[in-house]
Amino acid sequence: MASNKKVAFVTGANRGIGLETARQLGKLGDIHVVIGSRDLAKGKAAADKLRAEGADVDVIRFDITKPADYKEAYDYFDKNYGRLDILINNAGISKENFFAGNNASKVSTEVLRETFDTNFFGTIELTQTLLPLIRKAPEGRIVNLSSILGSLTLHADPDSPIYGAKVLAYNASKAALNAFTIHLAHELKDTKIKVNSAHPGWVKTDMGTDAAPMEIPEGARTSIELATLPANGPTGGYFHLGQPLPW
């Protein structure tokens, strides 16, 4: 079971940026990638396609909104590999219209809770569950898929490119996820585990729409870079294509 290779888990990876991340990691030659997919049939189809392209991938059923799945994922990696080298927290949602304008006075509690349950609470609980296995890896890597829309600095700057992109639930969930990155990286600073936030860019996905300027392969690059950082690479950072972003 690819015991001589690094083992990576990419959540929400049966399509979009997650699928492309699995594709690129799986083609590197020294990484065995496990796709987490809510729909196992779709996940298996995606894995079959990637294997046909030469990527080393497998798939498990995984839903970030179901806490029972966290333990099942732990048991899977523990039984089959005894460790986890790379965790890419790619699964995420947005329930808001990015083009409808500032919704701070109108966004519902239901949308806020559903967004945070996936983008923040679920991601933290999964990471905490899998961390004992990541500690067993020679050099663990944790990548949290954030967004430039989580930058409070840029949201407060009238001259920034995202100043008008105010959708509270999504943006706040990514800002909170960035805080988790900082805190976890600090806790693990004396280990060989590196924890970073990635902004993939505005990418042509179901969420990004066809209006986005970036293609999906480029959108996966930041995750790949942070998942394969060398021993002297950064931790506790917020990056896009190798460049730091302001918190």
Least reliable range by pLDDT among 106-120, 163-177, 183-197, 210-224: 210-224
Taking a C-beta distance cutoff of 8 angstroms, is the pair 240, 199 a contact?
yes
Q: What is the pLDDT of residues 101-133, one digit of tens each?
A: 999 999 999 999 999 999 999 999 999 999 999
For residues 203 and 219, give the distance between their C-alpha atoms in angstroms, rounded to a whole number: 6
| Token pair recorded at residue 154 | 């840029």
Report the mean per-residue pLDDT for the chain. Answer: 93
Least reliable range by pLDDT among 42-51, 75-84, 91-100: 91-100
Q: What is the mean pLDDT of residues 205-230?
A: 78
Taking a C-beta distance cutoff of 8 angstroms, is the pair 201, 214 a contact?
yes
Q: What is the mean pLDDT of residues 64-91?
A: 97
> Which residues are catalytic, by number?
163
Does pLDDT of 201 surpass 80?
Answer: no
| Token pair recorded at residue 146 | 């954030």
Tell me the backbone φ, ψ of residue 141, rounded to 5 degrees. -135, 130
Taking a C-beta distance cutoff of 8 angstroms, is the pair 88, 8 a contact?
yes
Q: What is the pLDDT of residues 141-182, one digit of tens each?
A: 999 999 999 999 999 999 999 999 999 999 999 999 999 999
Number of neighbours of residue 153 by Cβ within 10 angstroms: 10
Residues 6 or more apart from 27 whose CB is under 8 A from it?
A: 53, 54, 55, 56
pLDDT, residue 99, reads 83
pLDDT, residue 31, reads 98
For residues 95 and 169, give the distance between their C-alpha atoms in angstroms, rounded to a whole number: 8
Does pLDDT of 202 surpass 70?
Answer: no
pTM: 0.95
Residues 6 or more apart from 237 whose CB is under 8 A from it?
A: 181, 185, 196, 197, 244
Domains of the chain: 6-244 (3.40.50.720)
Tell me the backbone φ, ψ of residue 105, rounded to 5 degrees. -85, -5
Host H or E run for residue 195: strand 194-198
Share of the chain above pLDDT 70, in %: 94
Does pLDDT of 208 surpass 80?
Answer: no
Does pLDDT of 215 surpass 70?
Answer: yes
Does pLDDT of 205 surpass 90?
Answer: no
Q: What is the mean pLDDT of residues 83-108?
A: 94
Q: What is the mean pLDDT of residues 56-85?
A: 97
pLDDT, residue 217, reads 76
Beta bridge partners of 7: 32
